[in-house]
């Protein structure tokens, strides 16, 4: 499957089936694109599509977020999960102000140099906002490429080779490459899903190596399965943060104890939150950072 064929198959499909999402609206800012990409990491689109509108109404520019009290940022992050992303986003906003005069840079290297910005996010902003030609590789893209091009049932763990493999599928034209990038992602999210792919609805089915091979099961390496959330340290951390976001004063250890029955795990959660800069421990009291 070459780049021209991929574009010919995907462009009309994407035009008909693309989801209506805030960060795809004309005129959406580079800052908004950066915020949305960080929010979308490990968080469902349905939750982000509401949160991003509220967030940008409150902090429409990097300078606005850079100046915000950290406890307000953590409260606004709410149920988006993995709250360290909120701290890294504020760190990135401050770096954009200090290094780039408050303007989100359009260069992948400069984006990668921002705190908390990795390969995927830097390239996503460069492609989806600035219209550049770069491979943008997430789990959905890797799965589509593994099936349609490699004939495998799944992609397995992420590897550096994924970038080169996807780049080879991009048309030379920047605009066409951008369409392929977003369409691959959308196809993986809506049709070429992990558990129940709808091959009959796929624009690539006639050329899909996996379908041609009879849709064999995936037998390669798999990414480690995430531990159960219920009863985990992550749930304990979330319980402490949720309690602190709901008040404007520090909470004592005694006030937090009824929220989590395992005292050792509660202590571990508080200490790990403090190590991550998400809470401040002062004697027997715990509070959000100022």
Q: How far apart are CA 264 and CA 252, in angstroms?
A: 16
Whether 267 contacts 78, CB under 8 Å: no
SS (H, E, C) 99-120: HHCCCCCCCHHHHHCCCCCCHH
Catalytic residue among 37, 54, 167, 176: 37
Q: How far apart are CA 245 and CA 198, in angstroms?
A: 42
Q: How far apart are CA 43 and CA 288, in angstroms?
A: 23
Q: At what angle do helices 30-39 and 119-128 cross, to 10 degrees?
A: 140
Q: How far apart are CA 195 and CA 211, in angstroms?
A: 15
Instruction: Look at residue 281 and give its three-state secondary structure.
Output: strand
Residue 98's contacts (CB-CB under 8 Å, 6 or more residues apart) are none
Whether 25 contacts 197, CB under 8 Å: no
Establish whether 37 is a catalytic residue.
yes
Structure tokens belonging to residue 77: 């992050």
Positions of E strands within the chain: 251-252, 280-282, 285-287
**Which residues carry out catalysis?**
37
């Amino acid at each position: 499957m070459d780049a021209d064929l991929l574009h010919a198959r995907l462009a009309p499909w994407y035009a008909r089936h693309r989801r209506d999402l805030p960060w795809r609206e004309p005129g959406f800012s580079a800052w908004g694109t950066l915020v949305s990409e960080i929010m979308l990491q490990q968080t469902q689109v349905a939750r982000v599509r509401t949160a991003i509108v509220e967030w940008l109404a409150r902090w429409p520019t990097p300078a606005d977020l850079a100046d915000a009290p950290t406890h307000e940022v953590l409260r606004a992050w709410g149920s988006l999960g993995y709250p360290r992303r909120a701290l890294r986003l504020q760190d990135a906003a401050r770096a954009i102000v200090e290094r780039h005069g408050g303007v989100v840079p359009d260069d992948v290297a400069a984006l990668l140099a921002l705190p908390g910005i990795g390969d995927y996010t830097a390239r996503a902003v460069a492609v989806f906002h600035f219209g550049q030609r770069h491979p943008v590789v997430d789990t959905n893209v890797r799965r589509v490429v593994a099936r349609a091009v490699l004939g495998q049932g799944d992609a397995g763990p992420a590897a550096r080779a994924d970038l080169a493999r996807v780049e080879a599928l991009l048309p030379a034209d920047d605009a066409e490459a951008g369409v392929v990038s977003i369409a691959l992602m959308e196809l993986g999210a809506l049709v070429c899903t992990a558990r129940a792919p709808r091959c009959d609805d796929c624009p690539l089915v006639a050329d899909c190596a996996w379908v041609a091979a009879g849709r064999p099961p995936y037998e390669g390496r798999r990414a480690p399965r995430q531990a159960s959330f219920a009863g985990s340290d992550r749930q304990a951390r979330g319980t402490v943060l949720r309690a602190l976001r709901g008040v404007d004063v520090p909470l004592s250890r005694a006030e937090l104890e009824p929220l989590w029955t395992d005292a050792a795990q509660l202590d571990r959660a508080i200490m790990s939150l403090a190590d991550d800069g998400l809470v401040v421990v002062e004697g027997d009291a715990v509070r959000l950072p100022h």
